[in-house]
Structure 1
Amino acid sequence: MPAPLDLVPLLLEGAVITIEVMAASAALALIISFIAGLSRLSKWAWVRWATNVYVEVFRGSSLLVQMFWFFYVPPILFEVNSMPPFLAALLAIGLNYGAYGSEIVRSSILSVPKGQTEASVALNFTPFQRLRLVILPQAFMMMLPSFGNLLIELLKSTSLVSLITLADLTFQANVLNNTTWRTAEIFTLLLVMYFAIAYPMLLLVRWYERRATAGRWR
């Protein structure tokens, strides 16, 4: 039985927050993915070491704990006002998924045949030109499917922000459930709305992947 329409407006308010958190966190995670991924291939040992510490810490600990840390700990350590929930969620999710994304970037770059690099060296390309014109365009094709999966996982992780008082989709569903007790209707609608957000993104990633690789194997 479809969820009554009177439940939809409040859930849509939460959906807007969910999409905002997802978009901001995904942008931050993408930037960090490339910075950390390239840093892990740096010729300087201290850069590789520092990046590996960041990656292992954020991949090896709970996202929920990281979110609580950003929300509760800085005011205690630095004697400042509490961090806004949106900013705490942005930092936790962006840094966490940036750590996972860095491995996608690193492994994709390493998957580019060495002959491509050797050919660009023979053409007297600078290191930056080799990276921008030869290596990254090929590596990016390999990154797309994994980044698409990571984006969907990131969207699902935004449900945790309700635990730091951010009024996202899950938070609004809990509020409705506590006041109306229409549990089956509310959480069925919640599932549908998360899917409605995720599926178009998945289709977009697949479309872009097909477009970016069109004619590559011809």
Structure 2
Amino acid sequence: MNKGAATGGPPSGRRRIRAAQYLRMSTDRQTYSIENQRDAIEVYADLMGYDIVATYEDAGRSGLNIERRPGLRRLLEDVENGQADFETVVVYDVSRWGRFQNIDESASYEYRCQMAGVRIEYCAEQFANDGSVGSDVLKAIKRSMAAELSRMLSQKTFIGQTRAVKMGFRGGGYAGYGLRRLLVDAAGKPKAVLKRNEWKALASDRVILVP
């Protein structure tokens, strides 16, 4: 973090800045948990002399698009409607802002905030988001990496699901008329018949249809 004095706080006499935080997590992976992001932003805000006055959150939301991210949409609306009572939005890193497949889309949302007078800062990145050439280049690389990782994960998921279906396992959805969904372990040993609205809890388990 190259963003503040090493003394652990803002320079003496400097006014404190009102800031918001944006949090996003698409899965329950501990690395990017909402709590971890919040803790990191709290440390960063204290270092920079920021007061976090608003929180926008998209828990369990994919970073591929904005349609299913009410937190980010509300953030943009508040900023552009003049309802944002803050100067800065702190985000954990570039990937938390989004894994948009078109990196220009990610840039466009940040640009909309900038045009409304609100800065976006990434507390876990090794660059200051200050508009310098170096910062812009690194940010573009990070956005490309975030998008590529998402594509790789989607491809691996598709291949795994396709293979499971070819092996005779259920790919999802409800059983047809007269059939039941049987939960089996990785070795194919039956575990339980799933009732309506019951789903497998372990990734290694599979579901097959039985009479």
TM over 0.5: no
Richer in strand (by share): 2
Larger Rg: 2
**Taking CA–CA contacts closer than 8 Å with sequence separation of 6 or more, which of the two structures ends up with the larger relative contact order?**
1
Richer in helix (by share): 1
